[in-house]
Amino acid sequence: MLIDEELTLKKLETFLAFMRSGNLGRAAAELSTSAVSVHRAIHSLENALRCPLFKHEGRQLIPLESAYVLEKKARQLIQDAEQMVRQTREAAGFYAERFRLGALYSLTVKTVPKLVMGLKLRRSELNIDLTLGSNVDLLQRLKNHELEAILVSLDESVSDPACEQLPLFSDDIFLAVPTDSPFAEQAEVDLADLADSTFITLTQGFATHRDGARVFQQAGFEPKVAMQVNDIFTLL
């Protein structure tokens, strides 16, 4: 048996609202629509089912046995449809109550806590999963639908027309030296003066590694790298 195209989930939801309230006006208020729209949806359902659901007593609609049968089955159908949508989204990696956020390690000091607290105030039901990594790693996870949003350094490595980008703030890069270094007291340092020094850097894929390579190139030398690490805290 082919299902009539007039038989829709939206009309069934309207029908259930009327059965709960027993009144066109109250059902319309619940659905933020008009009583005429509710009545039209019910009449359309009767046409689709090819049988009456109500009898008219004055201006009132009195449910027939057919309406109670439809109410029971429609309620289960709506629940099944909601479960279908939820499970389909979960299979695709989208969770209504779970938000998967990716961020750079350096942003966990101030930026990430503030954003997470603000998000929890607006959407207290959300469970937030935080994944830390590099620019390249986080972008790949975003493309694979493993993350919903990422907090990264905006540059050509994360330039993707399929992703919407929103700048939050601009940042600076600094030279960090030991406190007993002759450069520690200087407000400005010519990086070329450190050509014979040994450096610790982040691994490739991190924004700081890319920016460091750029400034070393501008200074005219290839740095002597003693160690590469995977987060800003180990670097410091």
Highest mean pLDDT among 9-18, 81-90, 132-141: 9-18
User: Quick one: average pLDDT of 88-104?
Assistant: 79
Question: What is the 3-state secondary structure of 18-66?
Answer: HHHHCCHHHHHHHHCCCHHHHHHHHHHHHHHHCCCCEEEECCEEEECHH
CB 44 within 8 A of CB 11: yes
* Cβ–Cβ < 8 Å for 78, 9: yes
User: 107 and 73 in one domain?
Assistant: no
Query: Does residue 90 surpass a pLDDT of 80?
Result: no
Helix axes 24-31, 9-21, angle to 10 degrees: 130
DSSP run (H or E) holding 203: none
* Type of residue found at 99: F
Residue 185 in any domain: the answer is: yes
Q: Do 235 and 208 belong together in one domain?
A: yes
- pLDDT at residue 26 in the model: 92
- What average pLDDT does range 158-186 have in this prediction? 85
Is 44 a domain residue?
yes
Q: Are residues 35 and 51 in the same domain?
A: yes
- Predicted TM-score (pTM) above 0.75: no
d(CA 88, CA 104): 30
Domain presence at residue 2: no
Same domain assignment for residues 29 and 74: yes
In a domain, 82, yes or no: yes
- What pLDDT does 211 receive? 84
How many domains does the chain contain in total?
A: 3
User: Rounded mean pLDDT of 132-148?
Assistant: 88
DSSP 157: G
Q: Is residue 19 domain-shared with residue 68, that is, in the same domain?
A: yes
Contact residues for 224 (Cβ-Cβ < 8 A; gap 6+): 196, 197, 198, 199
Instruction: Classify residue 163: in a domain, yes or no.
Output: no
Give the CATH number of the domain where residue 55 resides. 1.10.10.10
Q: Which domain holds residue 154?
A: 98-158
187 in a domain, yes or no?
yes
Determine, yes or no, domain membership for 167. no
Mean residue pLDDT across the chain:
88
Residue 164 C-beta-side C-alpha neighbours within 13 Å? 3
Q: Residue 145 belongs to a domain with what CATH number?
A: 3.40.190.10
Q: Sign of the CA dihedral 224, 229, 230, 233?
A: negative
Last residue of a domain, one of 91, 106, 124: 91
**Does residue 3 form part of some domain?**
no
The arithmetic mean of pLDDT across residues 93-118, rounded, is: 85
Residue 48 sits in the same domain as residue 107: no
Q: 207 and 139: one domain? A: no
Of 91, 119, 134, which residue is a domain's last? 91
Query: Which of 91, 120, 145 delimits the end of a domain?
Result: 91
